[in-house]
Amino acid sequence: MSHCMKPNALCFSELNDEVNHSNQQTVILGGGFTGLFSALYLSHHNYSGRILMIDRSERFVFKPLLYEFLNGQMESNQVCPRYQQLLHGTDITFLQDTVQHIDLTERKVELGSGLHYTYRHLVLALGGTVGYFGTPGAAEYAFTFCSGADALAIRQHTIQCFQRASQVEDPQLRRKLVTIAVLGAGPTGVELAATLADSAPGFYARFGGDHREVRIVLINRSPDILSGDVNDRLRDTARTALQERVIPVELVLGATVTAVHPDRIDYIQDGQPAVLEAATIVWTAGTAVHPLIKNLSIPETDRDQHGRPFVTPTLHLLNYPEVFAGGDCVTQSPPEPALAQVAYQQGKTIAQNLIAFSKGEPLQASQVSLRGTLLKLGMEEGAADVFNRHKVTGKLGYAIRQLTYLEMLPLPAHNLKVTAEWLEDGIFQRAQHKI
Ligand SMILES: Cc1cc2nc3c(=O)[nH]c(=O)nc-3n(C[C@H](O)[C@H](O)[C@H](O)COP(=O)(O)OP(=O)(O)OC[C@H]3O[C@@H](n4cnc5c(N)ncnc54)[C@H](O)[C@@H]3O)c2cc1C
């Protein structure tokens, strides 16, 4: 980890001297959709305070495009660009480090490296974490799908299994090696299963295998896919699309997974225990509150049933006006869905309120406008539900999704311009004009 290489960054020791003793700085924890876009907005609008953004990763993860990275359609630099590149030319100081403790009373943040920082303003933008509902073996044996590293691990493991399968005579073992189980049929599970159902057969065929042997099994506790999700208007389209892939996705619905083993899943369906043998198992079934957020000194009465703290309409923690928070790590009443669309808009509001605060002006309430939903339903198939009015499917739906997300990518070459346009124009308005 060489922070000294970054032109606008300071070395650890310099940073510690210059920043740690300044109580005037704004510290942003987490460089995801909320944190990164909050920091960029502050920088674009000449915020007077010093901005320190801390993330444990050296790369921003553009999660909506992880499927394209998994199947090799897009490169890691596009989907997971380095913060060093994204923040080049801004006055944001980036520190790659892991936050270990947040002391709201002392206004202090402790990091894995041993460094600690005090702040005038804090932005909590740590996202959520994977929730396993106590399912035995799930954390140990199932892949997660949240980062570029996860996507690479799934691809490499699948390819290794397919390579082995191509040389195995035993049909039962071969069937297990070419079976991929996706647990959870929310949007991530549905999009992942659809992507794999188009791309995995080709991987197997490259080793001389019969692509029709590949199985993608989508297992869900609810009796249908996308239950209770903002994408539910696209459910029928998604169900049809899952059946029309290179190999149809097998749906196992109303099934509660009771244990995950290295190459097997135990579940109960219709009251009967059942087993699925699968060499690749991916868990997309749940999210949970981030442990650092869980450990904050905030009473249960100021949290929702999942333990996420409530924020005020102006996006600060109850009783802590100097701490702003947005995205998946907190909630509001009524709650917003856990979406990048919500997170970046909240990031913008947080930045605007920090600027207002610094000028002694009144803060504004967050007003998230959900402009529709987008689903990737295979290599070149998608569905867009624009403004909850226009449903666009097939290749055009896919094109809208791709254009929308490619335009959102905060790539270094067009970082400031594109990001500012994205923040200010609203992506779906343009998507609608393209219909
Ligand atoms: C596979 C997938 C696909 C998705 N597709 C879509 C989509 O198509 N459309 C959509 O609107 N939403 C989508 N989402 C949801 C969307 O990505 C999230 O709602 C959004 O990322 C939340 O933003 P955030 O800023 O709250 O958290 P995140 O973007 O998760 O950012 C949190 C950041 O905090 C950092 N962090 C966490 N813990 C620590 C620590 N201890 N120390 C330092 N840093 C830390 C992380 O490294 C991360 O960079 C998808 C999510 C996934 C997983």
Measured CA to CA, the distance from residue 294 to residue 326 in angstroms comes to 15
pLDDT category of residue 188 using cuts at 50, 70 and 90: very high
Minimal-distance CA residue to ligand 1 atom 52: 63
Residue 101: φ, ψ to 5°:
-155, 140
**Is the pLDDT score of 293 beyond 50?**
yes
Quote the pLDDT of residue 405: 67
Highest mean pLDDT among 43-57, 71-85, 218-232: 43-57
- Taking a C-beta distance cutoff of 8 angstroms, is the pair 92, 39 a contact? yes
Ligand 1 pocket mutation, candidates 1, 27, 28, 33, criterion most atoms within 8 A of CB: 33
Quote the pLDDT of residue 12: 41
How much distance in Å is there from the Cα of 150 to the middle of ligand 1? 13
**Is the pLDDT score of 14 beyond 50?**
no
Mean pLDDT of 53-69: 94
pLDDT category of residue 395 using cuts at 50, 70 and 90: confident
Share of the chain above pLDDT 70, in %: 85
Q: Which DSSP letter does residue 145 get?
A: -
Minimal-distance CA residue to ligand 1 atom 8: 64
pLDDT category of residue 16 using cuts at 50, 70 and 90: very low
**Is the pLDDT score of 177 beyond 70?**
yes
Residue of 260, 263, 291, 274 whose CA lies nearest to 139 = 260
Minimal-distance CA residue to ligand 1 atom 46: 30
Q: pTM of the predicted model, to two decimals?
A: 0.88
How much distance in Å is there from the Cα of 339 to the middle of ligand 1? 8
Q: pLDDT tens-digit profile of 195-251? A: 999 999 999 999 999 999 999 999 999 999 998 777 777 888 899 999 999 999 999
Mean pLDDT of 405-415: 55
Share of the chain above pLDDT 90, in %: 70
Quote the pLDDT of residue 3: 33
- Amino acid at residue number 11: C
How much distance in Å is there from the Cα of 340 to the middle of ligand 1? 7
Mean pLDDT of 175-179: 98
Residue 358 class from Cβ within 10 Å (0-12 exposed, 13-18 middle, 19+ buried)? Answer: middle
Ligand 1 pocket mutation, candidates 36, 54, 55, 405, criterion most atoms within 8 A of CB: 55
Which range (61-75, 79-93, 335-349, 393-407) has the least confidence? 393-407
- Residues in contact with ligand 1 by the CB-under-6-Å rule are 30-35, 54-57, 63-64, 66, 98-99, 125-127, 145-146, 188, 292, 327-329, 338-341, 343, 374
Measured CA to CA, the distance from residue 328 to residue 309 in angstroms comes to 11
- Alpha-carbon distances, residue 285 vs 2, 92, 167, 256 (angstroms): 36, 35, 33, 11
**Is the pLDDT score of 338 beyond 70?**
yes
- Domains contained in the chain, CATH given: 3-128+289-369 (3.50.50.60), 138-285 (3.50.50.100), 371-435 (no CATH)
Which range (255-269, 306-320, 347-361, 407-421) has the least confidence? 407-421
Minimal-distance CA residue to ligand 1 atom 6: 64
pLDDT category of residue 388 using cuts at 50, 70 and 90: low
Quote the pLDDT of residue 410: 60
Quote the pLDDT of residue 382: 76
Quote the pLDDT of residue 234: 81
How much distance in Å is there from the Cα of 33 to the middle of ligand 1? 7
**Is the pLDDT score of 9 beyond 70?**
no
How much distance in Å is there from the Cα of 418 to the middle of ligand 1? 20
